[in-house]
Amino acid sequence: MENVIIVGTGCAGLTAAIYTARANLSPLVLEGRLPGGQLTTTTAVENFPGFPDGVDGPDLIQRMHQQAEKFGARFQFGTVEEFQSGKPHRLKVDGAWLETKALIIASGASPRYIGIEGESKLIGHGLTSCATCDGAFYRGVPVCVVGGGDSACEEATFLTRFASEVYLIHRRDSLRASKIMADRALSNPKIKPVWNATVTGYLVDAAGEVEGVKLRNTKDGSESELALKCVFVAIGHEPNTAAFRQALETDSNGYLVQKTGTRTNVEGVFAAGDVADHVYRQAITAAGQGCAAAIDAERWLADS
């Protein structure tokens, strides 16, 4: 029986691990499909306080991991398949059941794809959501980024290091991104915005690799095609709550609902970071929530 299990090793999970470990709760931390969370798929993080020259995302995560381990957090690879609330709470992880008094869910959110039929088969064959991971494979060829937020601008700017040109395909004619990120992207001569357009299909070559996209203009409905070698999708995220939705309250988009502080509707279960936050979604706010969840869990354990 564990005192506290933490699901997730992004900023929220690792901060919760540091705090619960320092409170001598010997947390068990579950590392899921993307150990380290979304920061492991970014490059420079320029807005995490304390790093005036920026910090490499994976590096920041590794430091948090070390810090948690130093205070006694234990790490285990595994994906939660099922959750049963109770005393104790039970989690089925890769076929085996674990029991815990308190549970902190910090399983984050995963990148969303467009939803075109057969899309999942193309992931890794010219379709991806991670420029940091796959950008270097597309040197000297045209690529596109789909989306108009900070992620899309960041990915597009990063991809100009490799690609011959980067089409930024957005469904409206103004970006959602913050001004600094938007200006940086739009002033880059390699980035070519394609306004008022949605991707309606992929063009695939004989080897099964993407060789272009079909576009529809959102204003006049006209259709066109664009030849390119890779599509980087940056249109937001889905919360990783599938295993918890039956037992815990979620909102209409599947995000866990926090009642008081980080408490969910179930006693002894706490939620932190992007799994419960579709508003701020920053590394620093996720870390802050991880801290709050650890303190909430610690106090709940002391009182129960």
> Residue-wise over 35-51: b if at least 16 C-beta within 10 A, else e?
bbbbbbbbbebeebeee
What is d(CA 239, CA 272) in angstroms, rounded to the nearest whole number? 12
SS3 call for 276: coil
How is residue 36 written in tokens? 């380290």
133 is catalytic: yes
Which lies closer to ligand NAP via its Cβ, residue 213 or residue 294?
213
- Rounded to an integer, what is the distance from CA 154 to the centroid of its chain? 14
Which 88-127 positions form the footprint of ligand NAP (CB under 6 A)? 114
Catalytic residue among 94, 133, 205, 251: 133
Residues between 127 and 146 with contacts to ligand NAP, criterion CB under 6 A? 146
- Residue 148 binds ligand NAP (CB under 6 A): yes
Q: How far apart are CA 252 and CA 239, in angstroms?
A: 11
Q: For 278, list phi and psi in degrees, rounded to 5.
A: -105, 10
Q: Judged by CB, which is closer to ligand NAP: 190, or 281?
A: 281
Secondary structure (3-state) at 204: strand
For residue 167, the minimal CB distance to ligand NAP (Å) is 14
CA distance 85 to 96: 16
Quick one: tokens of 108?
């984050």
The verdict on 76 binding ligand NAP (CB under 6 A) reads no
- Cβ atoms of 292 and 261 within 8 Å: the answer is yes
134 a catalytic residue: yes
Q: Which of 56, 59, 130, 291 is catalytic?
A: 130
151 binds ligand NAP (CB under 6 A): yes
| Rounded Cα gap, residues 218 and 205, in angstroms | 27
Q: Is the dihedral of CA 22, 32, 45, 70 positive or negative?
A: positive
Q: 11 to 50, contacts with ligand NAP by CB under 6 A?
A: 47
| In the complex, least distance from residue 296 CB atom to ligand NAP, rounded to whole angstroms | 24
- Distance, CA of 271 to CA of 283 (rounded, Å): 15
Shortest separation between residue 301's beta carbon and ligand NAP, angstroms: 32
Q: Nearer to ligand NAP by C-beta: 59 or 69?
A: 59
Indicate whether 171 belongs to the interface with ligand NAP (CB under 6 A): yes
**152, 269, 275, 294: which one contacts ligand NAP (CB under 6 A)?**
152
Confirm or reject binding of residue 154 to ligand NAP (CB under 6 A). yes
> 144 an active-site residue?
no
Contacts to ligand NAP from residues 218-237, by CB under 6 A: 234-236
Neighbours of 67 (CB within 10 A): 16
84 binds ligand NAP (CB under 6 A): no
Which of 134, 150, 274, 296 is catalytic? The answer is 134
**In the complex, which residue's CB is closest to ligand NAP?**
149
Asked if 176 interacts with ligand NAP (CB under 6 A), we say yes
Which CB sits closer to ligand NAP, 22 or 176?
A: 176
Q: Is 149 in the site for ligand NAP (CB under 6 A)?
A: yes
Task: Decide if 231 contacts 199 (C-beta within 8 A).
Answer: yes
- For ligand NAP, how many residues bind (rule: CB under 6 A)? 18
Q: What stretches of the chain show up as alpha helix (H) in DSSP?
A: 11-22, 57-70, 119-122, 131-134, 150-159, 179-186, 283-303
177-206 residues in contact with ligand NAP (CB under 6 A) are: 198
What residues make contact with ligand NAP under the rule CB under 6 A? 47, 114, 146-152, 154, 171-172, 176, 198, 234-236, 281
Instruction: Please identify every residue annotated as catalytic.
Output: 130, 133-134
